[in-house]
Amino acid sequence: SKLAALFRHPLYNIPIPEVTEKDKLFVVNPLEKFSLHSSGSDEWVSSSKAETLLPTGKTAYDTYPAWLKFHVGINRYELYPRRDPLMPTLLRDLATQRIVSSVQKSGGTQLKLIMTFPNYGQALFKPMKQTRDQETPIDFFYFSDFERHNAEIAAFHLDRILDFRRIPPVSGRLVNITKEIRDITTDKKLAKTFFISPAGNVCFYGECSYYCSTEHALCGKPDRLEGSMAALLPDKTLAKRRSWRSPWRRSYHKSKKAEWELNPNYCAQVRETPPYDRGHRLLDLIDMTVLDFLMGNMDRHHYETFEKFGNDTFLLHLDNGRGFGTHSRDELSILAPLRQCCSIKKSTYLRLQLLATQPYRLSDLLREALATDPLAPVLAEPHLRALDRRLGKVLAAVGRCLAR
Residues catalogued as catalytic:
299
Q: Residue 271 CA to chain centroid, in angstroms?
A: 27
Torsion region of 174: left, alpha or beta (phi above 0 gives left; psi -120 to 50 gives alpha): beta
The residue type at 318: L
The total number of residues shown for the chain amounts to 404
**Burial grade of 207 (CB within 10 A; 0-12, 13-18, 19 or more):** middle
User: Is 233 part of any known ligand binding site?
Assistant: yes
Contact 266, 333 (CB under 8 A): no
How many Å apart are CA 365 and CA 383, to the nearest integer? 13
Q: To 10 degrees, what angle do helices 281-295 and 149-161 make? A: 130
Q: In what order do the strands lie in the sheet with 218-219?
A: 195-196, 202-204, 218-219
User: Is 232 part of any known ligand binding site?
Assistant: yes
Contact 194, 204 (CB under 8 A): yes
User: Is 134 part of any known ligand binding site?
Assistant: no
Write the DSSP string, 354-399: HTTSGGG-HHHHHHHHHTTSTT-S-S-HHHHHHHHHHHHHHHHHHH
For strands 113-116 and 101-104, give the pairing: antiparallel
User: Is 268 part of any known ligand binding site?
Assistant: no
Contact 95, 117 (CB under 8 A): no
User: Is 350 part of any known ligand binding site?
Assistant: no
User: Is 226 part of any known ligand binding site?
Assistant: no
User: Is 126 part of any known ligand binding site?
Assistant: yes
The residue type at 83: R
User: Is 330 part of any known ligand binding site?
Assistant: no
User: Is 291 part of any known ligand binding site?
Assistant: no
User: What are the binding residues for ATP?
Assistant: 110, 126, 147, 230-233, 304, 319
Binding-site residues, in ranges, read 110, 126, 147, 230-233, 304, 319
Annotated binding site for Mn(2+): 147, 319
